Structure 1
Amino acid sequence: MINTNPKRSDEPVWWGLFGAGGTWFAMITPITVFVLGILVPLGIIDAEALSYERVADFATSIIGALFIIGTLALPMWHAMHRIHHGMHDLKFHTGVIGKIACYSFAGFITLLTVVFIAMLML
Structure 2
Amino acid sequence: MEKIAMNKHRSQHKQAFDEPLWWGLFSAGGVCFAVLLPAVILFIAILLPLGLLPADALSYERASALLFSVPGFLFVGAVVCLPLFHAAHRLRHGLFDISVGNDALNKKLMYGGAALLSIVALGIVVAGFFS
1:18 aligns with 2:51: no
Structure-2 separation of matches of 1:36 and 1:7: 44
Q: Alignment partner for residue 33 of structure 1, among 17, 33, 41? A: 41
Report the counterpart of residue 124 of structure 2 in structure 1.
Answer: 116
Structure-2 separation of matches of 1:65 and 1:7: 35
Q: How many residues align?
A: 119
Q: Aligned with 2:56: secondary structure?
A: helix
1:44 aligns with 2:52: yes
Q: Aligned with 2:50: secondary structure?
A: coil
Structure 1 unaligned residues grouped into runs of 5+: none
Q: TM-score, normalised on structure 1?
A: 0.90
AA aligned opposite 2:35: M
4+ runs of 1 displaced by more than 4 Å?
none
Give yes or no for contact 2:33–2:83 (8 Å, CA) kept in 1.
yes
Structure 2 unaligned residues grouped into runs of 5+: 1-5
Q: Identity over aligned residues, as a percent?
A: 36
Bigger Rg, structure 1 or 2: 2
Give yes or no for contact 2:84–2:114 (8 Å, CA) kept in 1.
yes
Q: TM-score, normalised on structure 2?
A: 0.84
Report the counterpart of residue 62 of structure 1 in structure 2.
Answer: 70
